[in-house]
């Protein structure tokens, strides 16, 4: 089982209420898919088709060259294409691969041993968020080739996020946390970005989620 930094260090406190989103209709096709805004809503909704608004000693994954926005799992199980301008950054610990992305976003890929450990880590992180004052804003299911991705959206204030990750985020600024689980695989991605940039980042977030290729 994997934790971000450690499962219980992910969150210390969540101090702000989240903005709930308008979820894309379930019958939207790929040509109309877009991320809903983080608008207030009294309910958590599920929207198929759109985003809601390691083993010890294993080698760290690395970018291909020269196309540095393409990331390959060292075990050869998947490939992710991030948007242009992405750079790999030092992770909060050896079990996390971290990236800097456009729109002031950061992404994290936990290293896990197998699909069961991946599912367990996903649930543990969610339990930490909800158990320490965070809010679940929405969720959706997105088709990725012949697989699906479960996408959960949460939010938190910057100082709490800094305490959670050990990295620098802006105090009193609200952030969106997008957790993406690819069931029955060892891949989970976590994207964190300011709430105010979430809408503008919709297209590349969807492209990144949907563009994963499994071997």
Has residue 131 got a pLDDT over 90?
no
Structural domain contains residue 120: yes
**Lookup: tokens for 159:** 């100082």
Structural domain contains residue 2: no
Give the H/E segment covering residue 127: helix 115-131
Least Cα distance to 189 among 104, 105, 75 occurs for 105
Q: How many residues appear in the chain?
A: 215
Has residue 11 got a pLDDT over 50?
no
Has residue 26 got a pLDDT over 60?
no
How many domains is the chain partitioned into structurally? 1
Q: Cα(143)–Cα(87) distance, rounded to whole angstroms?
A: 26
Structural domain contains residue 100: yes
Structural domain contains residue 1: no
**Higher-confidence position of 21 and 183:** 183
Overall pTM surpassing 0.85 (yes/no): no
State the chain's mean pLDDT as an integer: 76
**Lookup: tokens for 118:** 């991946």
Q: Cα(210)–Cα(65) distance, rounded to whole angstroms?
A: 22
Structural domain contains residue 28: yes
CATH of the domain at 162: 3.40.1000.10
Q: Domain range spanning residue 203?
A: 7-214
Structural domain contains residue 172: yes
Q: Cα(122)–Cα(142) distance, rounded to whole angstroms?
A: 17
| Predicted pLDDT of residue 207 | 92
pLDDT tens, residue by residue, 89-120 = 888 888 899 999 999 999 999 999 899 999 99
| Predicted pLDDT of residue 50 | 61
């Amino acid at each position: 089982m994997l934790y971000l930094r450690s499962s219980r260090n992910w969150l210390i406190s969540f101090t702000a209420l989240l903005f709930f989103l308008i979820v894309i209709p379930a019958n939207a096709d790929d040509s109309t898919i877009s991320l809903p805004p983080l608008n207030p809503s009294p309910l958590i909704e599920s929207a198929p088709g759109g985003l809601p608004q390691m083993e010890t000693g294993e080698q760290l994954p690395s970018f291909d060259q020269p196309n540095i926005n393409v990331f390959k799992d060292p075990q050869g199980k998947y490939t992710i294409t991030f948007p242009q301008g992405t750079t790999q950054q030092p992770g909060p610990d050896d079990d996390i691969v971290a990236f800097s992305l456009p729109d002031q976003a950061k992404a994290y890929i936990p290293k896990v041993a197998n699909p069961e450990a991946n599912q367990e880590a996903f649930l543990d992180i969610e339990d930490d968020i909800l158990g320490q004052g965070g809010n679940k804003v929405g969720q959706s299911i997105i088709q990725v080739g012949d697989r699906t991705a479960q996408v959960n959206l949460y939010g938190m204030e910057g100082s709490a996020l800094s305490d959670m990750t050990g990295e620098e985020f802006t105090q009193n600024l609200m952030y969106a946390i997008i957790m993406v689980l690819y069931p029955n695989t060892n891949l989970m991605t976590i994207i964190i970005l300011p709430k105010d940039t979430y809408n503008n980042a919709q297209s590349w977030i969807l492209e990144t989620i949907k563009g994963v290729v499994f071997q």
